[in-house]
Structure 1
Amino acid sequence: MSTNTNNTATKPRKKWAKLAVAILVAVGCLGVVVLFAQWMRTLPAVQDFLTTYPGHVELPATASVGLPAWLGWQHFLNAFFILLIIRSGWFVRTTARPKEHWTRNNSGLIRTQGKPAKISLNLWFHLTLDVLWVLNGMIFVILLGVTGHWVRIVPTSWEVFPNALSTALQYASMNWPTENGWVNYNSLQVLAYFTTVFIASPLALITGLRMSGAWPKNAANLNKAYPIELARAVHFPVMLYFVFFIVVHVALVLTTGILRNLNHMYASNDGAGWTGFWIFAASLAVMVAAWFLARPLFLRPLASLTGKVSK
């Protein structure tokens, strides 16, 4: 009895010890990167490179200045959906025996041998969020095209790559570039936003669709050309990319002028007041509440509106 108790108490300690070691290793690696980048900046060739490529590419004269209000709403909704998608997707991946399931009321697309398929409540929540996220993304892309705001996040010159390298070196050396996101993003931001919107998001969509019950099971040729194993091999790394992007994005927002950055994203102004901060705080409270409310007790009534929830 005492042996089992000791083993149970030891497991959490080992987990915390591994976490502590991982944090120490990460901090050590970060320190090495900073020192190496600072040394590189002392080299004449690197200094010339930074002068030639300061970190951004000039936008076309027709590009608009500022960030519109619709972009702030899109930013919040995208953050809200992607946060819950990551949470629900992780539960789908790690829950071996789901306790609750959902079955659609009518035929729909998800069927097994002619009958509506039974899926876990976690998967139902994940797929529902996916649909909302995709709809939000479609509206975002349409607005980018209609308003001409696309020039802010789509590379229009090959010079974006050396300028992105310059920006990365400046960040790594802790001597950060002078920038003004209200007028123009730096090249590293442009590549990150372009990758997120036009590469990672479509990959998440097409791989998630392949793994869903809506995919035609009897299309032999299609399934052979696009095997589910390929979708699984891509879908999880894409999720990790989103996690990495969010962590870095939030860290830079908080450390490169938090009030001004939050005003850009949430208050649609270039000031240094507190309006954007309080809007951000309110949106963060909504996301935290949704995180804790996304559990069977609250999901069951929602899922019951479109299907039957069973244990």
Structure 2
Amino acid sequence: MIFTIRSGITILADHPRLYLPRHSTPGKDWFRIQKPIPTDPLCTAKQDSITLPDGVGLPGRRHSIGLARRWHLGIDTLWLLNGLIFTVLIFAIGQWMRLVPMSWNVSGTFDTVPLDQFSIQIARTLHFLVLCWFVMFIVVHVALVMTTGALRNLNHIYVSRDDASWVGFAIFAVSMVVMIVAWVASTPLTYRFLRKVQKAGYALIGPAQKLFEHIDAKPGQYSEKDISPYFWHNGKYPETEEYKQLQAGDFAGYTLRINGLVENPVDLNLEQLRSFPTTSNSRSICAFKAGRASRSR
């Protein structure tokens, strides 16, 4: 849960706003951990992200959402596997009777996970609410364990003993040391072994990803209502004086120069570029119009 929560916070920090509508339109967020969207039309999604301390997010820092997703989805896979094993065992050894209410005098405890059956924005909201639920559950649960007979409760949890010896507490203390070491070491080790973390994360989530990555609308099935009213710019805009002058003139003076290893070098303005027909071919239509690339000798 430590890795799941920390990596989830990093993912949230990359776009620190939650919405109920499908589109991420400024001003429509119901929750945010960032300032309001500035009126600057050149404000980018990268500028909106938040830098987290290394000890908070996983891996932390800014624009590390790719690594965070590897951690988040990979650990979620292990968590689901752990839950599957737990479910099999409680039925195999008869412990299900201690969890499932057999009368109105017994209440059961049930965990919950979000179901992503809605838009991505509702899914993000559900993830955040479940995150808050888990954090609250952990805090309350640990507090109750420690305040209602810590030694006996820890023996119940760790060694299945109903006494007040220190065995369970000793194992608990060792497990806490392991968690603290893992907490501190996870971020620096992630940045030191980037590729290994990426490969390990994909090895865990890859099989499931391959099953579901093609479940999407086919080309041509999107309608006008699917187009967001606000376009989140990405990357970083140039800060040169030349770019500012082009922007002030709505890029009317912009030209694309195609030269180098081509037979027919050409300068194309926006009107000429927009006059070319669209194509699904990966080869650039502009380069095709300008001439075939010649092989250097």
**TM bucket, shorter chain:** 0.3 to 0.5
State TM-score, norm by structure 2.
0.48
State TM-score, norm by structure 1.
0.46
Larger Rg: 2
Tell me which of the two structures has the higher relative contact order, counting C-alpha pairs closer than 8 angstroms and 6 or more residues apart.
1
